[in-house]
Structure 1
Amino acid sequence: MDVLNQLADDAPEHEPDTLPSLDEQKAIVAKLKALEEKGELTDEILAQYFAVKQKDTSDEEE
């Protein structure tokens, strides 16, 4: 069995996640910008839209 077939057999059985449509992305950006302008944009809100949240490493450097 070649490598590609082996990888295909080992692949997860779910469909890959798809990105929102361009119109949906524009609506999300508009909503986030509006929240930012009002000072209401929080990490929790951002986490709803972005799968990977960056870890704050500033505390670890002390």
Structure 2
Amino acid sequence: MYRVFIALIVLLLMAVMINVIIPHTALLFYSPGFYNGIVEVTKLLILLYILKIALDVREQTRHS
């Protein structure tokens, strides 16, 4: 159970990082389009990761 908790914390930190750090670096480099692409891809990866965690948890609860 605590593995799920840690994963959620990591995801939260990643979300904060994406929303705070990337826009600021984008402002520094003056190319928002490029960074928006990165943000979109990263969001997709995070969604996939959340789905993977959910499936893993479901598998574990089924086997126990």
TM-score computed with the length of structure 1 as normaliser: 0.33
TM-score computed with the length of structure 2 as normaliser: 0.33
Q: Which has the higher helix share?
A: 2
Q: More relative contact order in 1 or in 2 (CA 8 Å, sep 6+)?
A: 2
Larger Cα Rg: Structure 1 or Structure 2? 1
